[in-house]
Amino acid sequence: MEHHSSLNTVQAGIKEGRLNLKNLVEEYLERIKAHRYLNAFIEVYENEALQRAAEIQDKISRKKAGRLAGLIIGIKDLICYRDHHISAGSKILENYKSIFSSTVVERLLAEDAIIIGRLNCDEFAMGGSNENSWFGPVKNYADNTKVSGGSSGGSAVAVQAGLCMAALGTDTGGSVRQPASFCGVVGLKPTYGRVSRHGIVAYASSFDQVGPLTTSVEDAAIIMEVIAGKDEYDSTSSTLPVPAYSQHLNVSGKKRIAYLPETLESEGLDPEVKALMEATIKKLQDEGHTVEPVSFPYLDYVVPTYYILTMAEASSNLARYDGVHYGYRSDNATDLESTYKKSRSEGFGTEVKRRILLGTFVLSSGHYDAFYDKAQRVRRLIRNKTEEILSYHDFILLPTSPGPAFGLGEKTDDPVVMYLADIFTVQASLAGIPAISLPLDNNSKNLPLGIQLIGKRFGENELLAFSKYLMDVTKGR
């Protein structure tokens, strides 16, 4: 199936009559069935996908097809699709059907993408291993004893295992980039405000962004071109015009790239990740780019700042799941108050409850100044310092994750250990700027390793172009 993996090759195949879209969808459906054990899909839209394939094949022959005709894509179970179930990986949304489509889904469909199913994820996108899903963990295709990463674990594994050509995930603090890194695929978190959040189940609204997981930078670029842009239903979406990313993937001239020495000295950094960082730095220097160390003094503060703020926002966002408005309602409730209490106690998983409790605590009047307010100030320092670095560098190069995919169950006993693994992804999230994870190598055990590039605010075009370049120059290492 390798040859089907990118949209360009599929579109060429269909045009030349070598490929038929319906057969292609059938092939993917077969593959999904054969790989059920990975637990990547929560639901497969089998009949619908086949029907759309026939319709779009017809449109292609009439030369009326959209830009994504031929793309077979999965969506994270956090992205609303009208008349389809959505559960955010949670029991509390059991049997809930969305009454409208998210803007990203509308835009995919308008360009003739085929949505093949919804993909497993950590409950309400809270997690970094997909082990917090009500539907159980997702297995890494490279090694079934390892986690997929999270929270968009199903999205990453579906692309890794060739169960769809691309997937949409969401990234609040690394949930597209970290599973992409664990699964050897490309994962982009756009600038905050680049992609509409309308119809995305909210975790932390000042961080959440939808992003593509793909096998190539080219596919990430074309998907971004379609989903990005102003949306009247999301007032935080930007009015800046969306460049034709896929048409501008060439890099000209030499770049200035910063790396943060603190990241390379960070405790717990896997030696093979460190070696890959060093090899990448060397390669870029050999190619004539300036790659230099720039100190980032706030690395120790990024994880606490991120968790205080996201838990606070989550505690507020998740108040709506009360057993009355949506989904699960406890059978044991006797009155209004016990409906709220029991439905929430029985409907939410442990990690979600922990975050609601901690988030409520940091927002409480006695502790607001010490935690929430302070974290907001530190967020500003982190953002300013990061932007200062990017005012005289084109990109920041850093690992995506301290290590490769870890073992299933390995980090579930201690939430803090799990949180600390987000150390390299949350900086771009706190700053609201774009970042991409690129599958640059495998380690000695054949597990994928990702390297991350952070770009300037709304600099997706330059980031994607340089990512393609970096993938090309490091190929075959």
- In angstroms, the CA 219 to CA 241 distance is 20
Binding mask 221-260 for ligand GLN (x = CB under 6 A): ----------------------------------------
Q: Kindly tell me which of 308 and 396 has the beta carbon lying closer to ligand GLN.
A: 308
Give yes or no: 151 in active site.
yes
Q: Kindly tell me which of 128 and 455 has the beta carbon lying closer to ligand GLN.
A: 128
Token pair for 418: 């799990």
Which one is catalytic: 87, 148, 175, 237? 175
Does 175 help bind ligand GLN (rule: CB under 6 A)?
Answer: yes
Does 38 help bind ligand GLN (rule: CB under 6 A)?
Answer: no
Q: Kindly tell me which of 175 and 215 has the beta carbon lying closer to ligand GLN.
A: 175
Among the listed residues 89, 127, 450, 455, the single contact to ligand GLN using CB under 6 A: 127
* Cβ count within 10 A of residue 335: 8
Does 114 help bind ligand GLN (rule: CB under 6 A)?
Answer: no
| Least distance (Å) between residue 174 CB and ligand GLN | 5
Q: Kindly tell me which of 203 and 259 has the beta carbon lying closer to ligand GLN.
A: 203
| Least distance (Å) between residue 128 CB and ligand GLN | 4
Backbone angles phi, psi at 135, to 5 degrees: -90, 5
Backbone angles phi, psi at 444, to 5 degrees: -65, -15
402 with 270: CB under 8 angstroms?
Answer: yes
Which one is catalytic: 5, 101, 151, 315? 151
Nearest to 100 by CA among 85, 81, 115, 79: 81
- In angstroms, the CA 1 to CA 44 distance is 19
Give yes or no: 33 in active site.
no
- In angstroms, the CA 107 to CA 191 distance is 18
Q: Spell out the alpha helix ranges (H) of 318-373.
A: 336-347, 350-363
Token pair for 391: 């005012």
| Least distance (Å) between residue 396 CB and ligand GLN | 19
> Strands, E, within 231-344: which ranges?
256-259, 290-293
Among the listed residues 28, 45, 192, 203, the single contact to ligand GLN using CB under 6 A: 203
Nearest to 191 by CA among 142, 144, 154, 240: 240
Residue keyed to tokens 């720039």:
294
| Least distance (Å) between residue 151 CB and ligand GLN | 4
- Determine the longest span between alpha carbons in the chain, in angstroms: 71
Bridge partners (DSSP) listed for residue 139? 147
Among the listed residues 126, 217, 405, 430, the single contact to ligand GLN using CB under 6 A: 126
**Would you mind telling me the total number of residues written for the chain in this entry?**
477
Among the listed residues 89, 154, 174, 448, the single contact to ligand GLN using CB under 6 A: 174
Bridge partners (DSSP) listed for residue 111? none
Q: Kindly tell me which of 259 and 306 has the beta carbon lying closer to ligand GLN.
A: 306
Among the listed residues 128, 149, 450, 455, the single contact to ligand GLN using CB under 6 A: 128
Among the listed residues 151, 216, 305, 427, the single contact to ligand GLN using CB under 6 A: 151
Token pair for 416: 């803090």
> Strands, E, within 80-155: which ranges?
114-119
Q: Kindly tell me which of 310 and 343 has the beta carbon lying closer to ligand GLN.
A: 310
Token pair for 171: 């990234």
Give yes or no: 330 in active site.
no
Does 310 help bind ligand GLN (rule: CB under 6 A)?
Answer: yes
339 with 330: CB under 8 angstroms?
Answer: yes
Contacting range for ligand GLN; rule: CB under 6 A; set: 125-133, 220-228, 387-395, 432-440? 125-133
Does 125 help bind ligand GLN (rule: CB under 6 A)?
Answer: yes
| Least distance (Å) between residue 309 CB and ligand GLN | 10
Backbone angles phi, psi at 256, to 5 degrees: -110, 120
Q: Kindly tell me which of 222 and 302 has the beta carbon lying closer to ligand GLN.
A: 302
Q: Kindly tell me which of 35 and 411 has the beta carbon lying closer to ligand GLN.
A: 411
Q: What angle do CA 448, 451, 456 make, to 5 degrees?
A: 150
For residue 377, the surrounding DSSP H or E stretch is helix 374-391
Contacting range for ligand GLN; rule: CB under 6 A; set: 124-132, 224-232, 279-287, 389-397? 124-132
Does 172 help bind ligand GLN (rule: CB under 6 A)?
Answer: yes
Which one is catalytic: 6, 76, 90, 101? 76
Burial (0-12, 13-18, 19+ Cβ within 10 Å), 51: middle
Residues 6+ apart with CB under 8 A from 346: 91, 328, 330, 332
- In angstroms, the CA 170 to CA 189 distance is 8
Q: Kindly tell me which of 422 and 462 has the beta carbon lying closer to ligand GLN.
A: 422
Contacting range for ligand GLN; rule: CB under 6 A; set: 166-174, 230-238, 329-337, 455-463? 166-174
Among the listed residues 218, 231, 313, 422, the single contact to ligand GLN using CB under 6 A: 422
Which active-site residues does the annotation give? 76, 151, 175
Residues that bind ligand GLN (CB under 6 A): 125-128, 151, 171-175, 203, 310, 422
